């Protein structure tokens, strides 16, 4: 695939992500505060990326392995581009950055890099041969609760804690993997606010009554009712298979309780506290790369200073129209 | 006030129940089974879904977080229902996702 086609395909996939354009982002519209830390984030990200890239020929594989899920890579591209654009980095360098990131994502994916066929298939995925008969409502309620929890704890940066891949098809059914990791980000929140588990994975096998697609940003789309189409599932908590409905129900109740508690705290904050937390979440998102370079999970101190001295961008608090989103994509790429 | 509102179906299904219209002024306790009517996606509203009978969003894409959660739970859900939050709180309403309609019953 030549460079212009690659960019075109990335641009098309981005329309989905940016077209997802809610009226009021929680806890704060990210575009209204990103100018306070995006430059530093982008500079550090590209510097780390290039350092690894120049050091070894296997850079794409090494970085891919560190991030583990391609959706994380795709979701980081446009936020770094935002910072590069602000720093007036030449377009050719921005494109080189995109190509490297896509190459990293490709090391993790089986095919369909941009999920044009509605698949997000990962290399090395093991499809279970035996499924458990956990009640469908119990499984989907757990997944819904986890989604709410990851949003409460990592805001819009929840790619650092959640990935979806599939559908892996098998005759008349398909498997969808939902992976929840970094469920105890103690750098961000007090331990008592967080779940007692580090990771949960659910594997759902659906019959053909439901059509499921997953895009390269880990969004899941379905036509039909997921709950009624579940044939069987596997739930792993901290890597250990859990078959007991009651244990899962109790865990789900705890997840809901924790999500409510965190969201209630954040709702009481003023915008600077939210901006600081967002910056910390961004550096958590970047951590697999930082770790390869011997950096910590925290933003540099000048980022906090910038937030303290800076102001919210009131113009960017409003929602963009579809036309404005399209214009922005043309500007970036 | 309109008797029928239209929107985009996120999750199929039919439900008839009282509307709980979210607003700063609405201090009425949320009753289990109420249809949640929201202006936009917010985790506070998402967490109410666990006790809701259905969801009507005034704005937001089909991938709005609250819609994804409604899809996971299996609630009848419509989004982009213009003026939905003008529905009187406590009204008896029907959500018919197949037809993309919210109808006021009383």
Please tell me the number of Cα atoms within 13 Å of A88 on its side-chain side: 0
- Whether the CB-CB separation of A269 and A275 falls below 8 Å is answered with no
Taking each helix axis as running N to C, give the angle between helix A245-267 and helix A136-154, from 0 to 180 degrees, rounded to the nearest 10: 30
Query: What beta strand segments (E) does B1-106 contain?
Result: 4-6, 8-11, 14-21, 35-38, 54-57, 77-79, 92-96, 101-104
A204 to chain B: nearest residue by CA? B72
What pLDDT shows up at residue A319? Answer: 57
Please judge whether A148 and B46 are an interchain contact, meaning their C-beta atoms are less than 8 angstroms apart. Answer: yes
pLDDT at B1 > cutoff 90: no
The domains located in chain B, with CATH, are: 4-104 (3.50.30.10)
- pTM comes to 0.93
**Residue A305 confidence (pLDDT):** 97
Q: Where are the beta strands (DSSP E) in A44-185?
A: 162-170, 173-180
Q: B interface mutation test: which of A16, A22, A204 has the most B CBs within 10 A?
A: A22
* Coil/strand/helix, residue A233: strand
In chain B, residues with a C-beta closer than 8 Å to the C-beta of A256 are: 47, 50
Q: What is the pLDDT of residue A317?
A: 60
- Note the pLDDT tens digit of each residue in A186-218: 999 999 999 999 999 999 999 999 999 999 999
In this prediction the ipTM stands at: 0.91
Question: According to the model, what pLDDT value does residue A20 have?
Answer: 58
- Cβ-Cβ pairs closer than 8 A, A with B, add up to 76
pLDDT mean over B38-63: 91
Nearest alpha carbon to residue A83 among A124, A47, A38, A114 = A38
Q: Which of A20, A141, A222 sits opposite B71 (nearest CB)?
A: A222
Is the pLDDT reported for residue A243 higher than 60? yes
The residue with tokens 């129209």 is A321
The pLDDT assigned to A1 comes to 76
**In terms of C-beta density within 10 A (0-12 exposed, 13-18 middle, 19 or more buried), how is residue A50 classed?**
middle
What's residue A114's pLDDT? Answer: 95
| Mean pLDDT value of segment A104-115 | 96
Does residue A240 carry a pLDDT above 60? yes
- Residue A183, C-beta contacts closer than 8 angstroms, at least 6 positions apart: A149, A150, A161, A194, A195, A197, A198, A199, A200
What is the structure's pLDDT at A318?
Answer: 60
* pLDDT in the model for residue B63: 83
Which helix (H) or strand (E) segment is A329 a member of? helix A322-332
Q: Quote the percentage of chain B above a pLDDT of 70.
A: 100
Alpha helices, H only, B22-101: 43-48, 65-73
> Can you read off the two tokens belonging to residue B54?
């259905």
Per-residue pLDDT tens for A162-194?
Answer: 999 999 998 899 999 999 999 999 999 999 999
Q: Which residues touch A99 (CB under 8 Å, ≥6 apart)?
A: A3, A6
| Average pLDDT in chain A | 92
CA distance A267 to A244: 35
Contact list in B for residue A222 (CB cut-off 8 A) is 71
Q: What is the pLDDT of residues A22-66, one digit of tens each?
A: 546 789 988 899 999 999 999 999 999 999 999 999 999 999 999
Nearest CA distance, A55 vs chain B (angstrom): 39
A313 — pLDDT class (breaks 50, 70, 90): confident
Q: How many CB atoms neighbour CB A270 within 10 A?
A: 9
φ, ψ of residue A69 to 5 degrees: the values are -120, 130
d(CA A175, CA B70): 20
Nearest-CA residue of chain B relative to A215?
Answer: B63
Contacts with B72 from chain A: Cβ below 8 Å: 140-141, 143-144, 147, 226
Say what percent of chain A tops pLDDT 90.
83
Extract the tokens encoding B11: 């999750």
* pLDDT exceeds 90 at position A270: yes
pLDDT at residue B64 tops 90: no
- Determine if residue A262 is left, alpha or beta; phi over 0 gives left, psi from -120 to 50 gives alpha, anything else beta: alpha
Are the CB atoms for A322 and B80 separated by under 8 Å? Answer: no
> For A119-139, what is the mean pLDDT?
96
Residue with tokens 């795709």: A74
pLDDT for A21: 53
Q: Which residue of B has its CA nearest to A227?
A: B74
- φ and ψ at A262, to 5 degrees? -65, -45
Contacts of B63 in chain A (CB under 8 A): 20, 219, 221
- Nearest C-alpha of chain B: how many angstroms from A48? 32
Name residue, tokens 């809610």.
A22
- Residue positions counted in chain A: 333
Angle A241-B47-A139 (CA atoms, 0-180°, nearest 5)? 25
Q: What pLDDT sits at residue A275?
A: 97
* Measured torsion, CA atoms of residues A168, A169, A173, A174, in degrees rounded to the nearest 10: 20
Kindly report the length of chain B.
106
A126: tokens are 């093991």
> Higher pLDDT residue, A195 or A318?
A195
The pLDDT of residue A273 is 97
pLDDT in tens, B71-96: 999 999 999 999 999 999 999 999 99
Chain B residue with minimum CA distance to A252: B50
Residue B60: pLDDT band (50, 70, 90) is: confident
Per-residue pLDDT at A298 = 96
Out of B41, B47, B74, name the one closest to residue A226 (CB).
B74
pLDDT confidence of residue A331: 57
**Sequence-distant (≥ 6) Cβ neighbours of residue A285 within 8 angstroms:** A72, A75, A76, A157, A159, A160
What residues have CB less than 8 Å from A112, skipping those under 6 apart?
Answer: A119, A120, A121
Compute the distance between CA of residue A214 and CA of residue A250 in angstroms, rounded to an integer: 29
């Amino acid at each position: 695939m030549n460079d212009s086609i690659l960019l075109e395909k990335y641009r098309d996939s981005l329309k989905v992500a940016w077209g997802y354009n809610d009226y009021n982002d929680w806890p704060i519209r990210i575009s209204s505060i990103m100018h306070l830390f995006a430059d530093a984030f982008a500079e550090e990200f590209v510097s780390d990326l290039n350092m690894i890239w120049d050091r070894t020929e296997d850079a794409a594989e090494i970085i891919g392995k560190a991030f583990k899920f391609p959706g994380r890579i795709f979701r980081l591209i446009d936020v770094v581009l935002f910072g590069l654009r602000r720093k007036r980095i030449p377009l050719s360098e921005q494109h080189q950055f995109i190509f490297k990131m896509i190459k990293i994502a490709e090391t993790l994916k089986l095919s369909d890099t941009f999920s044009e066929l509605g698949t997000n298939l990962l290399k090395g995925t093991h499809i279970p041969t035996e499924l458990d008969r956990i009640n469908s409502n119990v499984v989907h309620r757990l997944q819904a609760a986890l989604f709410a929890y990851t949003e409460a704890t990592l805001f819009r940066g929840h790619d650092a804690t959640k990935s979806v891949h599939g559908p892996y098809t098998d005759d008349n059914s398909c498997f969808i993997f939902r992976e929840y990791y970094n469920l105890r980000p103690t750098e961000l929140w007090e331990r008592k606010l967080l779940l007692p588990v580090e990771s949960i994975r659910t594997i759902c096998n659906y019959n053909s009554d439901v059509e499921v697609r997953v895009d390269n940003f880990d969004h899941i789309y379905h036509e039909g009712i997921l709950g009624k189409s579940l044939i069987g599932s596997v739930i792993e908590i901290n890597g250990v298979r859990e078959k007991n409905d009651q244990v899962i129900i109790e865990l789900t109740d705890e997840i809901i309780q924790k999500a409510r508690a965190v969201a209630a705290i954040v709702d009481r904050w003023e915008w600077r506290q939210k901006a600081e937390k967002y910056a910390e979440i961004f550096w958590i998102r970047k951590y697999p790369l930082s770790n390869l370079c011997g950096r910590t999970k925290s933003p540099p101190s000048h980022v906090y200073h910038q937030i303290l001295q800076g102001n919210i961008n009131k113009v960017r608090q409003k929602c963009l129209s579809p036309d404005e989103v399209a214009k922005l994509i043309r500007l970036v790429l | 006030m309109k008797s029928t509102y239209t929107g985009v179906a996120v999750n199929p299904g039919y439900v008839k129940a009282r509307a709980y219209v979210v607003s700063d002024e609405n201090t009425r306790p949320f009753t289990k089974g109420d249809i949640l009517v929201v202006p936009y996606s917010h985790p506070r509203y998402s967490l109410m879904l666990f006790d809701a009978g259905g969801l009507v969003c005034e704005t937001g894409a089909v991938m709005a977080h609250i819609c994804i959660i409604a899809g996971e739970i299996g609630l009848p859900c419509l989004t982009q229902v213009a003026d939905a939050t003008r529905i009187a709180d406590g009204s008896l309403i029907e959500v018919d996702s197949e037809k993309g309609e919210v109808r006021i019953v009383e």
